[in-house]
Homo-oligomer: A and B are copies of this chain.
Amino acid sequence: MAKLKISRDSLLPPMANFVLENGLAPASLRPLAKAAGTSDRMLIYHFGSKERLIEDLLEYIADIYADAIDQSFGGERVTTRQECLERVMAFTAKAEMQPFMALWWEIVAGATHNKPGYLEAGRSMIWLLLNWMKTQLPIDDPDPEGGARYLLTMIEGALMLRAVGCDEIARAGLGNADLGAA
């Protein structure tokens, strides 16, 4: 029964869990410490400041996000961009992805207010999704790079509209898209 050594690495997982469940707004030191089974005192000791803690935490969460994407690989290749769009929309709508979606808008808001670490975390998540999407496009797609960027733009727009209760607009919007090289 070796006592687990407490370190950044052992503290990050439960804190990431807390943030994915409750968002960043209530993620102050004492609730985070409670979730990790320590005290605010120790969080400062291990991370130096809340600011650096959050930076590390966002980075760690981006890694979790990467794993979640990796695990949803596989399944046979798709034959049209339309089909690909539907698959990605379905992926982002999965129940296990909802905590990330909820967190996502806080990250975007934080990035526009120049909170340290937010922009980096947001950007890395976008690039992950973009690269993953390229692997989802039809094999014979004439322009996977451009196609993926186009689809990603549409998808993010649709997700935002969904977030403010305008799903209908997004649905009509997606339906009206001529998806370039089909």
Contacts and interface: CB of A to CB of B under 8 A. Distances in A.
Interface residues on A, range: 35 or more
Interface string A89-131: 0000000000001100111110111000001001100110010
Given A105-B108, A108-B105, A108-B109, A160 B156 contact: yes
Interface stretch (A9-17, A31-39, A66-74, A166-174): A166-174
A122 B156 contact: no
Contact of A108 (B145, B160, B178): B160
B161 A173 contact: no
A104 to B, nearest CB: 8
B23 A163 contact: no
B102 A164 contact: no
Contact of A150 (B102, B123, B156, B173): B173
A168 to B, nearest CB: 8
A154 B157 contact: yes
| Residue from A147, A153, A158 with most neighbouring chain B CB atoms (10 Å) | A153
B180 A180 contact: no
B153 A157 contact: yes
A105 B169 CA distance: 18
A86 to B, nearest CB: 15
20 contacts: A108-B109, A109-B109, A111-B163, A112-B163, A123-B164, A126-B166, A130-B169, A146-B172, A146-B175, A149-B170, A149-B176, A150-B172, A150-B173, A150-B177, A153-B157, A153-B161, A154-B154, A157-B158, A157-B160, A176-B180
Interface of A: 23, 25, 101-102, 105-109, 111-113, 119, 122-123, 126-127, 130, 143, 145-147, 149-158, 160-161, 163-166, 169-170, 172-180
